[in-house]
Chains A and B, each alone.
Chain A
Amino acid sequence: MSLLSLSNVTVRYGRLTAVRGVSFTMAEGEVLFVTGPNGAGKSSLLRAVAGVVAPAGGRIDLADHDITGRSPETIARLGLSMVPEGREVFGSLSVEENLLVGTGMHAGTRGWRARCETDLAAVYATFPILKDRRRSQAGLLSGGQQQMLVIGRALMTNPRLMAIDEPSLGLAPNIIDQVYDRLTELRRHRALALLIVEQSSTRAMMVGGRMMLMRGGEILLDGDARALGQSEAMQSAYFGYGEH
C-alpha cells in the first residue's frame, strides 16, 4: 500500500504545461528527492500534490483517499504537510503562534491540548533556537531560523508526509547542513515520509534515499540517489547534451 500515488498528473498554467503526465508512488516513511533544473516542473508538482493548484489531468491519492482537485486544507487534514518555497512564515505572528496555526485541525479531539504541549516541546527540543525566540515576531528571524520554524510548524500538524520545496534556497551551507541533520533525525524518530524538491542533486546524494530527476515537466530518471548521482545518465539529463 502506498502513501502517495500519482498517476498521469498534468499541471497547466493557462497554455503553459508545467507537468506532463507524471506518475509515481511513495511508500510510508520513504525519502524521495525530486531534482532537476529550473523550470522542470518540480514546484508545480508539489503544488498540485498540496492542492494549491488543481491538476489539469490525472489522479492523486494520499493515504487511500482521492485528493485530486481537493482543497489544501482537506489534503493537510489527510496528513500532508507542505513547506513551500520561500518559507512563508507568518511574519507578524510570534514564533509560537506560527507553530500553533496548524494544530487546529485536531482541535476538539480527545487529549488535543495535551498533545499540542507535547508536540510543542518536541519541536523545541529539535530546534532549541525556536524556544529561545518563541515570543519574538517570526518575521524578525534569520533565514535559517525561519526555515527551522516552517519545518517545526509543519511537524506540529503530525503529518505522515512532509513535502518541502527547496529547503536550502538562500541559506548558508552550514545552515543547510543543520536543516538536513534535523530532517534526517526527524525521519529516524517518526514514521515520516519526506518529499523534498531540490535543484541540485548533491544534497540528495549526501542524504541518500530515492531520487527522481525531472526535466521539461517529465520524470527522466528514478532510482537510488547515490547510484543515480554518479551515473552518466544523470549528467546528460541535467545538462541536456545527448538529447534534444
Chain B
Amino acid sequence: MPGLLQILLDALSLGSLYALGALGIALIFGVMRLVNFAHGDVIAFCIFALLWPSVDVVPIVFAGQLPWFLLIPFVLAVGAGLSVLAELAVFRRFRHANPATMMIASFALGFVIRYFLLMLFSSRPKSVQILPGLSQPVELLGARIPLLQVVTILVTIAVLLALVAVLRRTRFGLEMRAAAENFTMARMLGVRANRVIMGAFAMSGALAGAIALILGSQTGTADIMMGSSIMLMAFIATVIGGLGSLFGAVLAGFLLGGVSVAMQFALPLEARPFRDAFVYGAVILVLLWRPQGLLSGRAAKERV
C-alpha cells in the first residue's frame, strides 16, 4: 500500500508541474493565439534571479538567502515582470501578425533569454538551496514521503483555486474570459486589449515563477535548460487539453503526469529508459482520437 501511495503522490506532483506550465501557456494562448515557447526560459530565468551573475563553479547567492515569505513573492514577481517585459518589448509588435510568426518570435525570445543566462552564468548547472526545509521526508500512512511533494501538490491546488477565483469573481477575470472567447467583441464593449493581455502575461509569468521554485527545491540546481523539458510537456498538455481551454490544460497536465509515472512503474525494466517515447506514443493516440483536444473551447476556433 505505501508503494501505491508513493506512486500516486509522484503522479500528482509531476502532474502539478505540467499543469502549472500548461496553464501558463493556455492563459496567453487564450487571449492572443500565441503559443509562447519562451515560457520555459522564463522559468529558468526565475531560478537564476536568485544568484549573482558569475561564471564560477560556486554560485554567489543573491536573493536565495531571503526568508521564504520574501523569497516566494520575489520569484513570482521576477517571472511576472519578465513576462510583461516580453509582451511590451516583443509580442506587442506582433499583435496583428499571424500565429506562426508570433510563435517564431517566441522561440527567438526564448533563445535570447537562454543565451543571456549563458553569458552571465555559463552553462554549468549551479547548486541552489531553496527552501531547504522542504527536502525532509514526512511519515504519511506508513510511507516516507518527501515533504516537498506534498507542498507541491498543495501549492498547485491553491494556485488553481486562486486562479478560478480571479477568473470567476473579479472584473478583470470577467474581461479576460470575454476576451479569450471573442477579443474583438470584448474590445467593442470597451475592454482594454492591452490591459487584458498584460494581465495574462503577468499571471503566466508568475506561474513560471512558481514552477521555478518547485523545480529549484526539487533538484537543488539551477540549470539553463531546466525549463525546456517542462515547457515541452506543458505545451503537449495544452494541445491535448484543447488549445484555449484552461480547464483542459490543467486536466491534461495531470493526465500526462499520471501516465508518465504509471509507465515508469508498469513498463518492463528494459523499456523504462524509453518511457518518454511511450508517453508521446500515448499522446499521438489521444490526438488521433480527438484532434481538437479533450475539451476544445470555442476560443480554439479560427477568429474571423
Contact = CB atoms under 8 A, between A and B. Distances in A.
Interface string B59-101: 0000000000000000000000000000000000000000000
B181 A52 contact: no
Contact of B189 (A51, A91, A107, A153): A153
B179 to A, nearest CB: 9
B298 interface: yes
A237 B133 CA distance: 82
A84 B188 CA distance: 9
B186 interface: yes
A157 B185 contact: no
Nearest to A83: B188
A105 B190 contact: yes
Interface of B: prevailing SS: helix
Interface string A96-114: 0110111011010000000
Residue among B174, B181, B184, B189 having the largest count of chain A Cβ atoms under 10 Å: B189
Interface size class of A (residues with CB under 8 A): 20 to 34
Contacts of A105: 189-191
Interface of B: 171, 174-175, 177-178, 181-182, 184-193, 297-298
A51 B193 CA distance: 13
A95 B174 CA distance: 12
Interface string A65-104: 0000001110011000110100010111100011011101
Contact of A52 (B188, B189, B298): B188
14 contacts: A73-B191, A76-B189, A77-B190, A90-B178, A90-B181, A91-B181, A92-B177, A93-B174, A93-B181, A101-B186, A102-B191, A104-B171, A104-B190, A105-B190
A147 B178 CA distance: 17
A50 B190 CA distance: 11
Contacts of A37: none
A98 B189 CA distance: 10
Given A93-B177, A139-B298, A50 B188 contact: yes
Contacts of B171: 104, 107
A82 B190 contact: no
Contacts of A100: 174
A91 B298 contact: yes
B190 A102 contact: yes
A73 to B, nearest CB: 5
Residue among B171, B181, B182, B185 having the largest count of chain A Cβ atoms under 10 Å: B185
Contacts of B190: 73, 76-77, 102, 104-105, 157
A91 B189 CA distance: 16
Given A71-B193, A101-B175, A90 B188 contact: no
B79 to A, nearest CB: 26
Contacts of A91: 181, 298
Contacts of A154: 189
B191 A101 contact: yes
Contacts of A104: 171, 174-175, 190-191
Nearest to B245: A92
Nearest to A88: B185
